[in-house]
Amino acid sequence: MSPSELESDTYDVVVIGTNLSGSIVAASLAKAGKSILHIDPNEYYGSSHSSLTLDELIQWSSLHSSPSLTSHQYSQASTSTLTPSLHSDRRRYALSLYPAILPSRGSMIQTLIDSEVSKYVSFRLLGSVSVYNSTQPLNSSGEKEETGMVKNSKEVKVRRVPGSKEDIFKDTSINLRDKRKLMKFLLWASGSYEITTVFMENKHKRMGEFLKDVFGLDVKLADQICYAIAHCDDPEEKVERVLGRMNRYLKSIGRYGSGAFLVGQYGSAGEVAQGFCRACAVYGGTYVLGPSAKLESISASEDGVILRLPCHPRDIKASKVISTAEHLPENLRPAAAEVIITTAQCIAILPSFPELLRQSRGSSEGTQTEEEGSEENEDTAVLLFPPEGEMGLVRALIMGEGTGSCPPRQWILYLSSVVSESTPPKCLEPYLSRLSSEPLFSAFYFSHRPKYDIPAEKLLPSDKNIVLLRPCESLDMTEGMDWEAKQAEAAFWQVVGKDGQVGYFEKTEEGEESE
Amino acid sequence: MADETPMKAVQVKLVLLGEAAVGKSSLVLRFVQNDFNENTSPTIGAAFLTQRCRLENRIVKFEIWDTAGQERFHSLAPMYYRNAAAAVVVYDITKSASLEKAKAWVKELQRQANPNIIIALVGNKLDLVSDTPSEPPTDGSEVERDEEDEETTPKPAESTEDGDSRQVSIAEAETYAKECGLLFFEASAKVGTNVNEVFTEIAKAIPLDTISPKPAAAAQGARKPATQAEGGVNLGEQQAKKGGCC
């Protein structure tokens, strides 16, 4: 058989796009015994969740440099040029188009475990979560009043957020009274808060106000909780939603260590997607990537979907097609969203761990934890910059060599913020320079996501045999991976039906015969 | 370091490469099931198989990754090559085209994989040619052909009895292997010839200290064993699962 020909003309399911949800659902269906053809027109795995090498990122950037929003997800991408040493190390980087951290409890972790893909991908605990003290002027916003404590500890620009009981006890910067309030709140939020009257009466309130009014926390602590523990976009978010998320994050603490979040190796999301693709292949799925997997035509009918691909000389027939909207032709996509949310993103390579974050360790924890994890703390970190001036919340995620993302003694920095206009560098460069005076490399781009007014699950594809995978609407870095896992499971059930014949990543005594 | 705990197993990721149907999986099956079966009962098509290889001064625990068919459309993910300390590139000595494919895979390894990767070029299906018993070019290892003769029952050569089916000469492949700094063997997965030698020589060639420069970054970095045991990584014991495979 010619290598440029598929083994079959028909498949149970064709999955288009190797993004997280596509890869997970492909693996789950292959495991359930379905014949799977998984294609991606990109040369690399992961689609919008990909981990790219440095040269791949530059190539990617040149393809997404268009100044305005077209049908693409990305625009205005630009990169600095490579120094010779970066060039020679270019393949040692895993740079994520989808920087994310993973709560230790949730759909993604569960799916990783159930599918045993956890064997291929490794995670480590996130080193620290900190909040930038925005009274240090960036522009001119100085609205937040601060207690004297900040000045006392010689210009603390960054506060490491105590995420657990232990942390709170250790923290020397919070006074005893506040500690008690904080503990009281965290205890409540990590328990069965939803049956309490406090919750019933306040669930439609804004989170920030709620913390102040009901738990008596000061603005500063309330903000820290909102940004760094509950990972809100802003303190205006509704209590009900915030607490649901926060409860899970608080329960994540202690599962694998003292923090709530894990950071994946090699760019995280992209590596996880590859892991599921491999699982799918192991269960018999066929993989075609690149130009030979670029859809030539697709048409849906009553009893299935017909596709044409360069890798096969004949029509390919599938009972179902699973895809994200971006891979489908206009006529098979759902109606366009009215609102597009734009995020400015930056990927930078730093020659040192940001000084800012070193400070935060020293000042808030004293010397007692010096030995514990000094290395780990300087490998991964999340830093949140509360809104300042024109800019909304800016999120920074740092991944060092321990995550396999870069060569030794370098760090990858991801910045992101929802913006309305301007250009990506204009938005984020001030933040980059706070973290590093001399980045070795930087890339900036806009990422665009549709936001629908109708709930996601009401958003239907144009044909019953096409199953749509939707991108996560939340823009923070803690929810995306779980969202993808949920999308995948929903798609799985849409394909197999809930008749009890097969389970989702069900353990089986014996797999199917090979060949 | 390793001298102090000489019998501690070092884990080595080994990847298989080569054109479809050259016998990649069978080589591994032969290696894993035949001789060192201390632990698992493996199955072809599993995520990866493990096998220990005992040397004089250490034990190398191979974690062997099969392509799972992803080589057909050159869609092997970077993850596949990641942290591989060794690779076995297989061709079929009765198909000259398969050596060309093998050369392409060696190139791909040089591009994608760890620069210090140990690569072994293996010409499989020695049982299909019955000319001279092929001595492996490396001095140290001996061919212990008789050892596994219990499975010689299947038909020895398809076409002729005198080895006409050979299309790749030892000299040709060996010269190429030398040029590229590869270990070289001719082997038979079916009969067992040289299979253990391939893996033993690889195990010997792996430098003691540079084993897995990063691979177990998580394992070593995370002081909490829980992260490894339950978390992302070594969750439960590995179970061999069947599935499609070349």
CATH of the domain at B85: 3.40.50.300
The dihedral sign for the CA sequence B182, B188, B192, B193: negative
Per-residue pLDDT of chain A (515 residues; tens, 9 = 90+): 455 689 899 999 999 999 999 999 999 999 999 999 999 999 999 999 999 999 999 999 999 998 876 666 899 999 999 999 999 999 999 999 999 999 999 999 999 999 989 888 889 989 889 999 866 444 433 333 343 333 334 456 888 887 667 777 777 778 889 889 999 999 999 999 999 999 999 999 999 999 999 999 998 889 889 999 999 988 899 999 999 999 999 999 888 887 889 999 999 999 999 999 999 999 999 999 999 999 999 998 888 999 999 999 999 999 999 999 889 988 888 777 778 889 999 999 999 999 888 865 544 444 444 444 444 468 999 999 999 888 999 999 999 999 999 999 999 999 999 987 788 899 999 999 999 999 999 999 999 888 777 666 666 666 789 999 988 878 789 999 999 999 999 999 999 987 767 889 987 654 443 32
Q: Which of B72, B80, B238 minimises the CB distance to A119? A: B238
State which residue of chain B sits closest to A115, comparing Cα positions. B235
In whole angstroms, how far apart are CA A136 and each of A110, A132, A151, B109?
41, 9, 11, 50
Chain A contact set for B101 (CB, 8 A): none
pLDDT at B198: 93
Chain B contact set for A255 (CB, 8 A): 226, 230-231
Helix/strand/coil (H/E/C) assignment for every residue in A187-202: HHHHCCHHHCHHHHHH
- A150, two tokens: 């900040």
pLDDT at A184: 92
Q: How far apart are CA B189 and CA B31, in angstroms?
A: 8
Report the complex ipTM.
0.82
Given a contact cutoff of 8 angstroms between Cβ atoms, the answer to whether B15 and B47 are in contact is no
Interface test with B, best of A287, A377, A406 (most B CBs within 10 A): A287
Alpha helices (H) along A32-164:
54-63, 84-88, 107-115, 149-152
Q: How many domains does chain B have?
A: 1
What is the CA angle A287-A288-A294, rounded to 5?
145
Query: Which residues 357-376 of A are in CB contact (within 8 Å) with B?
Result: 373, 375-376
Longest Cα separation, chain B: 60
- Tell me A388's DSSP state: B
Burial of A111 (0-12, 13-18, 19+ CB in 10 A): buried
Chain B contact set for A112 (CB, 8 A): 232, 235
pLDDT at A21: 97
3-state DSSP call for residue A414? strand
- Relative to beta strand B9-18, strand B59-65 is parallel
pLDDT at B159: 43
Chain B contact set for A409 (CB, 8 A): none
Q: How far apart are CA A322 and CA B14, in angstroms?
A: 33
Instruction: Please tell me which of A175-184, B168-177, B190-199 the model is most confident about, judged by mean pLDDT.
Output: B168-177
- Relative to beta strand A297-301, strand B9-18 is unpaired
pLDDT at B148: 39
pLDDT at A234: 85
Given a contact cutoff of 8 angstroms between Cβ atoms, the answer to whether A164 and A129 are in contact is no
Query: Which residues 23-52 of A are in CB contact (within 8 Å) with B?
Result: 30, 44-45, 51
Question: Would you call A278 and B245 a contact, using CB atoms and an 8 Å cutoff?
Answer: no
Chain B contact set for A262 (CB, 8 A): 227, 231-232
Instruction: Please report, as a single letter, which amino acid is at residue B154.
Output: P
- A168, two tokens: 């709170």
Given a contact cutoff of 8 angstroms between Cβ atoms, the answer to whether A443 and A78 are in contact is yes
Average pLDDT, chain B: 72
- B150, two tokens: 């219990």
Any B CB within 8 A of A378 CB: no
Q: How far apart are CA A217 and CA A180, in angstroms?
A: 10
Burial of A102 (0-12, 13-18, 19+ CB in 10 A): buried
pLDDT of B131 higher than 80:
no
Q: What are phi and psi of A79, to 5 degrees?
A: -135, 160
State which residue of chain B sits closest to A27, comparing Cα positions. B243
pLDDT of B44 higher than 90:
no
Q: How far apart are CA A78 and CA B157, in angstroms?
A: 60
Instruction: Give the H or E element holding residue A500.
Output: none
- Classify residue B231: in a domain, yes or no: no
Give the model's confidence band at B41: pLDDT under 50 very low, under 70 low, under 90 confident, else very high.
Answer: very low
Q: Which domains does chain A have, with CATH numbers?
A: 165-252 (1.10.405.10)
State which residue of chain A sits closest to B110, comparing Cα positions. A91
pLDDT at A367: 40
Query: Which residues 154-173 of B are in CB contact (within 8 Å) with A?
Result: none
Q: What integer is the mean pLDDT of B171-184?
A: 95
Query: Which residues 237-256 of A are in CB contact (within 8 Å) with B?
Result: 255-256
Instruction: Give the H or E element holding residue A147.
Output: none
Helix/strand/coil (H/E/C) assignment for every residue in B180-196: HCCEEEECCCCCCCCHH
State which residue of chain A sits closest to B218, comparing Cα positions. A124
- Quick one: which of A168, A26, A132 has its CA closest to A430? A132
Given a contact cutoff of 8 angstroms between Cβ atoms, the answer to whether A98 and A74 are in contact is no
In whole angstroms, how far apart are CA B187 and each of B22, B92, B98, B129?
11, 10, 15, 11
Task: Looking at the complex, report in whole angstroms how far the Cα of residue B226 sits from the nearest Cα belonging to chain A.
Answer: 6
Going by C-beta distance under 8 Å and a sequence separation of 6 or more, which residues neighbour residue B104?
Answer: none
Q: What integer is the mean pLDDT of B47-74?
A: 86
Q: How far apart are CA B187 and CA B197, in angstroms?
A: 9
Given a contact cutoff of 8 angstroms between Cβ atoms, the answer to whether A404 and A265 are in contact is yes
- Classify residue B225: in a domain, yes or no: no
- Classify residue B45: in a domain, yes or no: yes
Q: How far apart are CA B221 and CA A69, in angstroms?
A: 42
State which residue of chain A sits closest to B71, comparing Cα positions. A287
- B120, two tokens: 């072994």
Question: Between B81 and B243, whose confidence is greater?
Answer: B81
Instruction: Please report, as a single letter, which amino acid is at residue A386.
Output: P
Any A CB within 8 A of B223 CB: yes
Alpha-carbon radius of gyration of chain A: 24
- β strands within A53-201, DSSP E: 74-79, 95-96, 102-103, 123-125, 129-132, 158-160
* b (16+ CB within 10 A) / e for A238-275: ebeebbebbbbbbbbbebbbebbbbbbbbbbbbbbbbb
State which residue of chain B sits closest to A271, comparing Cα positions. B79
Could you tell me if residue A78 is left (phi over 0), alpha (psi between -120 and 50 degrees) or otherwise beta? beta
Chain B contact set for A282 (CB, 8 A): 45-47, 68, 241, 243-245
Residue with structure tokens 């064997």?
A119
pLDDT digits (tens, 9 = 90+) for B76-111: 899 999 889 999 999 999 999 999 999 999 999 998
- Classify residue B70: in a domain, yes or no: yes
Question: Would you call B79 and A373 a contact, using CB atoms and an 8 Å cutoff?
Answer: no
- Quick one: which of A156, A183, A153, A157 has its CA closest to A169? A183
Q: How far apart are CA A216 and CA B217, in angstroms?
A: 43
Residue with structure tokens 């970190």?
A381
Question: Would you call B245 and A262 a contact, using CB atoms and an 8 Å cutoff?
Answer: no
Q: How far apart are CA B5 and CA B9, in angstroms?
A: 9
- Quick one: which of A397, A399, A394 has its CA closest to A431? A394
Going by C-beta distance under 8 Å and a sequence separation of 6 or more, which residues neighbour residue A81?
Answer: none
pLDDT at B35: 45
Structural domain containing residue B192? 9-210
- Tell me B150's DSSP state: G
In whole angstroms, how far apart are CA A241 and each of A108, A194, A442, A453, A483?
19, 11, 35, 17, 15
Q: What integer is the mean pLDDT of B143-159?
A: 40
- Classify residue B222: in a domain, yes or no: no
3-state DSSP call for residue A482? helix
Task: Looking at the complex, report in whole angstroms how far the Cα of residue A329 sits from the nearest Cα belonging to chain B.
Answer: 24
Choose the weakest-confidence range: A491-505, B18-32, B123-137, B215-229: B215-229
Tell how far CA B72 is from the center of its chain: 19
- Classify residue B168: in a domain, yes or no: yes
Q: What are phi and psi of A417, to 5 degrees?
A: -160, 140
3-state DSSP call for residue A436? coil
Chain A contact set for B21 (CB, 8 A): none
Task: Looking at the complex, report in whole angstroms how far the Cα of residue A249 sits from the nearest Cα belonging to chain B.
Answer: 16
Given a contact cutoff of 8 angstroms between Cβ atoms, the answer to whether A366 and A172 are in contact is yes
Q: How far apart are CA A222 and CA A208, in angstroms?
A: 6
Interface test with A, best of B29, B40, B73, B214 (most A CBs within 10 A): B73
- A63, two tokens: 């393809």
pLDDT at B132: 54
